[in-house]
């Protein structure tokens, strides 16, 4: 990704992802979208996105999915590194969509949060 290219990491069947993409298209904003189920995020990329967004691994975790329950992550003592590795291994653990633009990233929940990167 070049520093001036907006990238959206998403799952096309996700309603929030679709609404984020719709908002961008309505405003004529060009972006690259990456379905991270087809092109999985590495642990290093997840760590980079967390750093750019200024959030923790727990902030990025989907807590309502079955895998979260199956891995008993709610009250776990996993380290940040372990949580990042689990997210890389299990894409369903990653909250979405995530927008990245240069040195910044944002979790687009709600979709309008993407405007923080563009303003």
Catalytic member of 11, 14, 82, 115: 14
Looking at the DSSP assignment, which residues form a beta bridge with residue 100? 7, 105
Can 17 be counted among the known catalytic residues? no
Active site residues: 14
């Amino acid at each position: 990704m070049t520093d001036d290219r907006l990238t959206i990491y998403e799952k096309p069947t996700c309603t929030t992802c679709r609404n984020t993409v719709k908002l961008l298209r309505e405003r004529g904003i060009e972006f690259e979208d990456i379905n991270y189920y087809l092109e999985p995020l590495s642990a290093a990329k997840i760590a980079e996105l967390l750093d750019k967004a200024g959030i923790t691994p727990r902030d990025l975790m989907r807590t309502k999915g079955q895998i979260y329950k199956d891995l008993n992550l709610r009250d776990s003592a996993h380290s940040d590194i372990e949580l990042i590795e689990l997210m890389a291994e299990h894409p369903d653990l990653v909250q979405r969509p995530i927008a990245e633009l240069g040195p910044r990233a944002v979790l687009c929940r709600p979709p309008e949060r993407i405007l923080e990167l563009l303003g």
